[in-house]
């Protein structure tokens, strides 16, 4: 357990692994595939894995999408979690937190390449450490 001091000054005990994304979570889509909002309905990585964090792959259903783009509403896709609202503890002891929960749409295959050609918003460096260097190369800012 880690002691985190909340903004009101009271201590809060939190687990080492920050958990935030779970089934039925609404997330933003941070790429140019045409999807704007998606709903997570499965977290990949084992039968007992209930939560997803930075760098985890989830299965999403597209809730809203732009017309005449490659992704349509109600389609099911794989996605990579690139931002989460809950604070993520880095190995050096610092914390990183974002304003939104965001994913990028992936193409299923051996390398899990991104479907879009651009990524919007900052991306944490942990994404590259987990083997998604192609996502890091598309990002405008790596934190």
Please report the pLDDT score of residue 117 as a whole number. 94
Per the structure, the count of domains in the chain is 1
Domain-located, residue 82: yes
Number of C-beta neighbours around residue 126 at 10 A = 17
Domain-located, residue 13: no
Mean pLDDT over residues 121-131, rounded?
A: 94
Domain-located, residue 1: no
Strands 102-107 and 26-29: parallel
CATH number for 27? 2.40.150.20
Structural domain range at position 81 = 19-138
Mean of the per-residue pLDDT values for the chain?
A: 89
Domain-located, residue 8: no
Please state the pTM of the whole predicted model. 0.84
Residue with tokens 């609404």: 26
Domain-located, residue 2: no
Please report the pLDDT score of residue 1 as a whole number. 45
Mean pLDDT over residues 76-95, rounded?
A: 95
Percentage of the chain lying above the pLDDT 70 cut: 87
Domain-located, residue 91: yes
Please report the pLDDT score of residue 119 as a whole number. 96
Domain-located, residue 24: yes
Domain-located, residue 6: no
CB contact burial 48-68 (16+ within 10 A = b; e otherwise): eeebbbbbbbbbbebeebeee
The per-residue pLDDT for range 4-43, each reduced to its tens digit, is 555 555 555 555 455 689 999 999 999 999 999 999 999 9
């Amino acid at each position: 357990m880690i002691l985190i001091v909340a903004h009101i000054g009271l201590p809060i005990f939190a687990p080492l692994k920050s958990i935030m994304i779970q089934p039925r979570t609404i997330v933003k889509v941070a790429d140019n595939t045409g999807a704007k909002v998606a709903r997570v309905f499965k977290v990949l990585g084992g039968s007992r894995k209930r939560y997803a964090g930075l760098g985890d792959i989830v299965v999403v259903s597209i809730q809203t999408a732009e017309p005449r783009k490659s992704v349509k509403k109600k389609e099911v896709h794989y996605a990579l979690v690139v931002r989460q609202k809950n604070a993520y503890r880095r190995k050096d002891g610092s914390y990183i937190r974002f304003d939104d929960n965001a994913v990028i749409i992936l193409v299923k295959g051996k390398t899990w390449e991104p479907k879009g050609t651009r990524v919007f918003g900052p991306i944490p460096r942990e994404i590259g450490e987990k083997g998604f260097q192609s996502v890091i190369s598309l990002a405008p800012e790596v934190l």
